[in-house]
């Protein structure tokens, strides 16, 4: 990542100074310096409180209950059946598996596997499924996917293990007819997101899951953007596997994720090692959950996940979902008034994710101004989902603001006002 020279921006002065200055014909270096200094002083004086709107990447802050659970875990010796005779009061992996089963309404707590992240979950599932197949097969994915889906699939395709069809979304949605039109006689795998991290659209998985279940197609659903923000009932949605990450809406810390695997026979483990069980055998155990968990787990990460699950259960997922919707609606209404030169990619997103571009300002620069002049953290660029950017913004990327349950309506209003000011400045 190149280091960007610092610049500061004052609403109403047009394009930012520093890199932007080069683009303003007739603007001397001296003029730049004068205005830069003025803005610098203003930005220093403003002392705006930090507004964090990058929750679709990693949520912040975490609820105090999550921090307390991590502290509790670290303050006492770890305990896990098979790995310690005794220790802290809590077997965190066992407790978190039970909590996950309750949270996602799943039948089998032991079919929840802890991983490092959604990316780790996808790699284990995709490589493990491909390994299980006798020969090459056909797989389907969509243009909404994150690179954590696209890259392992691309890698497996490069190795000749599978052939891949990418289905195009329509208005941000993937339908069963679109999936059906891509089917081939040897289609054995479909991988798709539950919620787009760019467009904020929520996919109707159930009909696709039911179709896959009745046609022996393994359906992997990427719940990185929905787990913790949307009520999910795995008993009513017969997916092959559902994966999540801990550090987004589930309010856990970075470094913990997982997946639920309906039928463990369909996937081979891609790693072997110590499990604290059946230690005489040199063959890795085939029972769940040990089949997919080798090595000492991330206890503090699991504790944070447990803390997040309990917090969200206490608040109620319906309330959490509604608040996300209300926050993004409030922000959208704040940036939709008048012609501000804003290209909005989903006028009414299902998830608390709003992506847009300012017509006269590069999205990286706009993000930099929001951070430096307003203390607002968003995310800019490609959001690790290159295919959908090709369709919506010609591959240049966009600004994304994403809300968590802990954001406030006031933060949304202030952020919308800031975007309006930046847009007005850029339009001059
Ligand atoms: C839709 C989607 N899938 C997968 C991931 C990868 O998550 P992680 O970084 O936790 O592996 C992300 C992260 O942004 C995402 O938005």
Is residue 224 in contact with ligand 1, taking CB distance under 6 Å?
yes
- Examine residue 348 and state whether it is found in any structural domain, yes or no: yes
Q: Are residues 125 and 231 in the same domain?
A: yes
- The residue range of the domain holding 106 is 64-272+279-315
pLDDT of residue 78: 83
Q: Probe ligand 1: pick from 220, 252, 384, max atoms within 8 Å of CB?
A: 384
Residue 369's closest CA among 12, 107, 78?
12
- Measured CA to CA, the distance from residue 383 to residue 388 in angstroms comes to 10
Residue 291 exposure: Cα atoms within 13 Å on the Cβ side: 20
Domains of the chain: total: 2
* Number of Cβ within a 10 Å radius of residue 359: 13
- Examine residue 102 and state whether it is found in any structural domain, yes or no: yes
First to last CA, the chain: 30
pLDDT of residue 43: 54
- Examine residue 160 and state whether it is found in any structural domain, yes or no: yes
Q: Are residues 291 and 349 in the same domain?
A: no
- Measured CA to CA, the distance from residue 153 to residue 162 in angstroms comes to 8
Distance of CA 272 to the CA centre of its chain: 28
State pLDDT tens for residues 282-340.
Answer: 999 999 999 999 999 999 999 999 999 999 999 999 999 999 999 999 999 999 877 88
Q: Probe ligand 1: pick from 54, 150, 245, max atoms within 8 Å of CB?
A: 245
Q: Are residues 207 and 345 in the same domain?
A: no
Closest-CA residue, ligand 1 atom 13, reads 57
Q: Are residues 350 and 369 in the same domain?
A: yes
Is residue 99 in contact with ligand 1, taking CB distance under 6 Å?
no
Give the tokens for residue 76: 């006492």
Q: Are residues 147 and 23 in the same domain?
A: no
Q: Are residues 311 and 334 in the same domain?
A: no
- Examine residue 366 and state whether it is found in any structural domain, yes or no: yes
Q: What is the CATH number of the domain that holds 328?
A: 3.90.1150.10
- Measured CA to CA, the distance from residue 190 to residue 94 in angstroms comes to 30
- Measured CA to CA, the distance from residue 200 to residue 218 in angstroms comes to 25
Q: Quickly tell me which residue has 């109707």 as its tokens.
A: 204
3-state class (DSSP) for residue 193: strand
- Measured CA to CA, the distance from residue 25 to residue 20 in angstroms comes to 11
Is residue 222 in contact with ligand 1, taking CB distance under 6 Å?
yes
Is residue 148 in contact with ligand 1, taking CB distance under 6 Å?
yes
Is residue 119 in contact with ligand 1, taking CB distance under 6 Å?
yes
- Examine residue 37 and state whether it is found in any structural domain, yes or no: no
Q: Are residues 358 and 298 in the same domain?
A: no
Give the tokens for residue 408: 């406030």
Q: What is the CATH number of the domain that holds 194?
A: 3.40.640.10
Q: Are residues 331 and 396 in the same domain?
A: yes
- Examine residue 299 and state whether it is found in any structural domain, yes or no: yes
State pLDDT tens for residues 230-274.
Answer: 999 999 999 999 999 999 999 999 999 999 999 999 999 999 999
pLDDT of residue 83: 82
Q: Are residues 119 and 242 in the same domain?
A: yes
Query: Strands 353-358, 398-402: parallel, antiparallel or unpaired by DSSP?
Result: antiparallel
Q: Probe ligand 1: pick from 149, 151, 197, 255, max atoms within 8 Å of CB?
A: 197
Q: Are residues 259 and 115 in the same domain?
A: yes
pLDDT of residue 41: 47
257 Cα: distance to centroid of ligand 1 (angstroms):
10
Helices 299-315 and 92-103 pack at an angle, to 10 degrees, of: 30
Q: Are 198 and 355 in contact (CB under 8 A)?
A: yes
- Examine residue 23 and state whether it is found in any structural domain, yes or no: yes
- Measured CA to CA, the distance from residue 374 to residue 371 in angstroms comes to 6
pLDDT of residue 270: 97
Q: Are residues 237 and 96 in the same domain?
A: yes
Q: What parts of the chain have a pLDDT lower than 70?
A: 1-46, 87, 427-428
**This prediction's pTM:** 0.90
364 Cα: distance to centroid of ligand 1 (angstroms):
21
pLDDT of residue 90: 87
Is residue 363 in contact with ligand 1, taking CB distance under 6 Å?
no
- Examine residue 14 and state whether it is found in any structural domain, yes or no: no
Q: Are 297 and 114 in contact (CB under 8 A)?
A: yes
146 Cα: distance to centroid of ligand 1 (angstroms):
7
pLDDT of residue 81: 80
- Measured CA to CA, the distance from residue 332 to residue 108 in angstroms comes to 40
Q: Are residues 173 and 206 in the same domain?
A: yes
Residues comprising the chain, all counted? 428
Residue 425's closest CA among 20, 40, 18?
20
pLDDT of residue 84: 82
pLDDT of residue 427: 58
């Amino acid at each position: 990542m190149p280091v960007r020279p610092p610049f500061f921006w004052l609403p109403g002065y047009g394009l930012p100074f520093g890199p932007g200055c080069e683009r303003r014909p007739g603007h001397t270096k001296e003029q730049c310096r004068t205005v830069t200094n003025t803005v610098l002083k203003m930005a220093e004086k403003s002392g705006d409180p930090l507004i964090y709107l990058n929750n679709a990447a990693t949520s912040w802050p975490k609820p105090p209950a999550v921090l307390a659970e991590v502290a509790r875990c670290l303050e006492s010796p770890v305990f896990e059946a098979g790995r310690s005779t005794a220790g802290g009061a809590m077997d965190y992996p066992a407790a978190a598996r039970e909590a996950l089963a309750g949270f996602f309404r799943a039948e089998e707590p032991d079919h929840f596997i802890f991983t490092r992240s959604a990316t780790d979950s996808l790699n284990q599932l995709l490589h493990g499924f491909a390994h299980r197949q006798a020969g090459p097969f056909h797989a389907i994915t969509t243009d909404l996917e994150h690179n954590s889906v696209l890259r392992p699939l691309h890698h497996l395709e490069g190795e000749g293990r599978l052939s891949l069809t990418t289905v195009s979304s329509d208005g941000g949605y993937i339908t069963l007819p679109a999936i059906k039109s891509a089917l081939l006689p040897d289609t054995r795998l479909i991988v798709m997101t539950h919620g787009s991290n760019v467009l904020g659209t929520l996919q109707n998985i159930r009909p696709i899951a039911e179709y896959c279940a009745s046609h022996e197609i393994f359906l992997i659903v990427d719940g990185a953007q929905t787990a913790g923000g949307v009520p999910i009932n795995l008993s009513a949605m017969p997916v092959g596997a559902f994966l999540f990450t801990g550090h987004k809406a589930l309010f856990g810390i970075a470094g913990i994720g997982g997946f639920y695997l309906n039928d463990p026979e369909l996937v081979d483990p891609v790693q072997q090692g110590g499990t604290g069980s059946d230690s005489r055998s040199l063959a890795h155990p085939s029972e769940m959950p040990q089949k997919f968990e080798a090595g000492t787990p991330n206890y503090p990460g699991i504790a944070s996940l447990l803390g997040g699950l309990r917090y969200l259960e206490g608040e109620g997922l319906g309330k959490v979902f509604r608040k996300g919707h209300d926050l993004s609606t409030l922000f959208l209404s704040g940036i939709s008034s008048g012609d501000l030169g804003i290209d909005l990619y989903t006028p009414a997103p299902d998830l608390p994710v709003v992506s847009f571009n300012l017509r006269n300002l590069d999205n990286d620069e706009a993000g930099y101004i929001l951070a430096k002049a307003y203390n607002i953290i968003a995310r800019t660029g490609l959001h690790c989902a290159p295919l959908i950017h090709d369709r919506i913004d010609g591959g240049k990327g966009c600004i994304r603001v994403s809300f968590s349950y802990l954001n406030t309506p006031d933060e949304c209003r202030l952020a919308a006002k800031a975007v309006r000011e930046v847009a007005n400045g850029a339009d001059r």
